[in-house]
Amino acid sequence: MQGAGHRVAITGYGVVAPCGLGKDAFWRGLLGPGITSAKTVEIADWDPLPYFSNPKEARRSDRVEQFALAAAQEAFAMSGDLPYEPARMGSIFGTGIGGLRTLEEQVITRVEKGERRVSPFLVPMMMSNAAGAAISMRYHLQGPAETICTACAAATHAMGYAARLVAWGQCDAVVTGGAESALTLTAVAGFANMTALSSSGCSKPFDSTRDGFVFGEGAAVFIFERWDAAVARGANIIAEVLGAASNADAHHITAPSPGGVGAQACMRSALHDARLQPSDIKQVNAHGTSTPLNDSAEAQAVAAVFGSPTPPMTSIKGVTGHPLGAAGALEAAAVLLSFEHRLIPPTANTSTLGDDIACDVVIGEPRAWTPGPTISNNFGFGGHNGSVILGPAN
């Protein structure tokens, strides 16, 4: 990272997603059929008990916190014991909304049964920082413990900040990523009434007939460490964080800036941070929500930054749906799996690119590649833009 004193290694990660629990099942899901005939996609038959010491502890955690702790368990198991002082380990986490399920349930309880029946655990369960705080408490991380809440860019922003804490020597390790579980009746109605959701129930990013996103959920958690310290302890280094950037469109609360000019600036800033040229990027993991405006603006931005032909570009939201603040975390996990399997997963459900999409979108089948620096983008309501560049370990 630009001006950094330390390289940033990724030594562990974990995934909880509708298409698979755990990284290996998640990868199989990314190569499977996409979402059709559904406005929402949830993790089926979710059981939090394996990730908690007792049922009471699980009941006092919102589903979003449960997802975060489940993904963290896999990440720590992969990374192994971290031999650092607790004060030198942090938790920087992202979410768009937080414990909305608990809030909606308790509003209904108050209306139907009265104020005395509202749970005393409402506030700690609904607060947006609960997931990141739970990770810090479970793993005794006493360094910075902060939550970033920048809509659909939240996890990418969290990863960028976490990487800088490591690169700048303020932490030896940081646990980062994002989680979301906001599929309440009211939230779904709100997105539907603003015409953000797919009317056809099919997520098909960059397709000529795309008509909105499918609302998803999930979590992914990563262990970032100083590269030299990870080598010294004999850790298996999975990948490297090469650079990251964040900026704002300052244009509109929901619509992207015309031509994706904010996204262009964000990607160029990430390249500068990584000390890379556009030609060095070998894959683009797109935000690609399947909405007409977002996909068009992002495609214009990618074409403007990388020229023609663009690097191969994919969006996993045809399989995962759009998990809001967790999107960047799931997509970063997809990038790491793409490194491991030497395949770029296809953009599910997409068959015919829109006339406004002048990019090399991977469709139909996975594409073999030689892993190299990959930029992963996320753009959120409020004009928030985030890009992170990951590279294979070498």
- The catalytic residue positions are 152, 287, 322
Q: Which residues contact 262 (CB under 8 A, 6 or more apart)?
A: 247, 248, 249, 250, 251, 256, 379, 383, 385
Residue recorded with tokens 């909304």: 97
Q: Please give the Cα distance from 374 to 52 (Å, whole number).
A: 35
Q: Please give the Cα distance from 152 to 196 (Å, whole number).
A: 13
Q: Please give the Cα distance from 188 to 157 (Å, whole number).
A: 25
Q: Pick the closest to residue 286 from 355, 357, 340, 201 (CA basis).
A: 357
Q: Please give the Cα distance from 114 to 159 (Å, whole number).
A: 41
Q: Please give the Cα distance from 327 to 341 (Å, whole number).
A: 21
Q: Which amino acid is at 142?
A: Q
**Is residue 299 helix, strand or coil?**
helix
Query: Residue 275 pairs with which residues in a beta bridge?
Result: none
**Do the beta carbons of residue 218 and residue 67 sit within 8 Å?**
yes
Q: Which residues contact 275 (CB under 8 A, 6 or more apart)?
A: 2, 243
